[in-house]
């Protein structure tokens, strides 16, 4: 009698055998896991290349030039020259209070501009930086509606 564990194991082995040996699965890293190193963007990219990675997600960059358009062009050139797929983003898009909405929208627009200049096909955004940063007024459904309105406001 075949046990469930043996059945699942043999099914998995057969599935792996069906995958062509030439298939290459891209592998990357989210730089948030390296934040304790306090490396600039170039050092992070060089680390990814040394690890033979295919992609880098520059999250919450600690680089002093993070909001400098010249730096964005450099990062794009580095990742292109080194053959790395690059993605990036920004922080929270929900303001803690209503008077912070304009600031949040301006920052989101800047992060979209930054991501485009760096060659990132996405802009990562959070609703809030943590559960304690959620706006005080109302249920989560209201916050989702607010986030959708903000995203519609910045889309082009």
DSSP one-letter string for 60-128? S---TTTT-HHHHHHHHHHHHHTT-EEEEEEEE-S-SSGGGHHHHHHHHHHHHHHHHHHT-S-EEEES-
- The pLDDT score that the predictor gives to residue 49 is 96
Say if 3 falls within a structural domain.
no
Whole-number Å distance between alpha carbons of 3 and 8: 9
Which pLDDT tens digit goes with each residue over 12-64? 676 666 666 665 788 999 999 999 999 999 999 999 999 999 999 998 889 99
Say if 140 falls within a structural domain.
yes
Global pTM reads 0.77
Say if 1 falls within a structural domain.
no
Say if 16 falls within a structural domain.
no
Say if 51 falls within a structural domain.
yes
Say if 14 falls within a structural domain.
no
Tally of domains within the chain: 1
Say if 12 falls within a structural domain.
no
Say if 120 falls within a structural domain.
yes
Q: Considering only residues 93 and 74, tell me which one the structure prediction assigns the higher pLDDT.
A: 74
Kindly indicate the confidence band of residue 111, based on its pLDDT and cuts at 50, 70 and 90: very high
CATH (domain of 38): 3.20.20.150
81's enclosing H/E stretch is helix 69-81
Q: Which domain holds residue 109?
A: 22-154
């Amino acid at each position: 009698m075949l046990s469930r564990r043996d059945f699942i194991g043999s099914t998995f082995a057969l599935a792996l055998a069906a995958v062509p040996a030439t298939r290459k699965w891209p592998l990357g890293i989210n730089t948030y896991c390296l934040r304790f190193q306090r490396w600039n963007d170039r050092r992070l990219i060089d680390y990814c290349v040394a690890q033979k990675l295919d992609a880098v997600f520059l999250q919450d960059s600690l680089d002093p030039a993070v909001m400098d358009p010249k730096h964005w062009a450099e990062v794009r050139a580095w990742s292109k020259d080194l053959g790395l797929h690059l993605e990036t983003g920004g922080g929270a898009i929900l303001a803690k209070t209503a008077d912070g909405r304009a600031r949040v929208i301006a920052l989101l627009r800047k992060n979209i501009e930054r991501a485009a200049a760096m060659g990132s096909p996405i802009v990562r955004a959070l609703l809030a930086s943590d559960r304690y940063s959620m706006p005080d007024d109302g249920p989560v459904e209201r916050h989702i509606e607010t986030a959708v309105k903000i995203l519609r406001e910045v889309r082009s």
